[in-house]
Copies of this chain bind each other. A is one copy, B any other.
Amino acid sequence: MQLPSTLLENAVAQFSKLPGIGKKTALRLVLHLLKQEVNEVQYFGETIAKMRRDIKFCNRCHNISDGDICSICSNSQRKQEMICVVENIRDVIAIETTQQFNGVYHVLGGIISPLDGIGPDQLNIESLVHRIEKEQTEELIFALNPNIQGDTTIYYIQKKIPHLHCKVTTIARGIAFGGELEYADEMTLARSLQNRLPVQQYVK
């Protein structure tokens, strides 16, 4: 696909770098922007650049923040003694959207995955251990994806904090709401049976 202008070509090349956006989609987006007002597109570009330049990460939980401490950590209404450990910021947003969790977070920034060359040193694990030592943490909830890497990460962090006596839990794995038993994989079904709940607890 040959484009009639280098300016257009550069813009398309920039959009094509984004995940899931091919050259045709990039062209469609650029041609859409071309139909907008000059100052609107100027604002688009500036907003994106400003976001990357000025965004901060919370010193305590490594979540995205406008200041040094994020809005969740600085919220006195939330239980600061209950820390939910997640892989990335998208998981924080997903859990926040449920409006069911009233504690605080710790964003690891990834997950231990030797195949991808990611070891514990590249993650925010050291700061989590310090945090648990310093703060009066009562419960540590692991909300990691249920796979080998997630389980390895849980195991590693647990080994790091044996002398601390806080409760350590993980979010339940089981059949998803609206899912069907016959299509569930064996592993999920087996775990779901092992970790069965009294019906009273389930419906409460």
Which A residues, 74 to 101, have Cβ-Cβ distances below 8 Å to chain B?
A: 88-90, 92-93, 96-97
Q: A14-B44, A48-B41 are in contact. Are A2 and B97 (CB under 8 A)?
A: yes
A96 vs B93: C-alpha distance in the bound complex, in angstroms? Answer: 45
This chain's copy number in the assembly: 2
Q: How near does chain B come to A46, taking the closest CB pair, in angstroms? A: 6
Q: Is the CB of A38 within 8 A of B25?
A: no
Task: Determine if B48 and A14 form an interchain contact, defined as CB atoms under 8 angstroms apart.
Answer: yes
A93–B27 CB distance below 8 A: yes
Q: If A8-B64, A20-B28, A28-B20 touch, does A3 touch B48 (CB 8 Å cutoff)?
A: no
Any chain B CB within 8 A of the CB of A190? Answer: no
Q: Are A49 and B46 in contact (CB under 8 A)?
A: yes
Q: Residue A196 at the B interface, CB < 8 A? A: no
Could you show 19 A-B contacts with beta carbons less than 8 Å apart? A2-B96, A3-B64, A4-B65, A4-B92, A4-B96, A5-B55, A6-B66, A11-B47, A14-B48, A18-B29, A18-B33, A19-B29, A20-B25, A20-B28, A21-B29, A27-B93, A33-B48, A34-B52, A41-B51
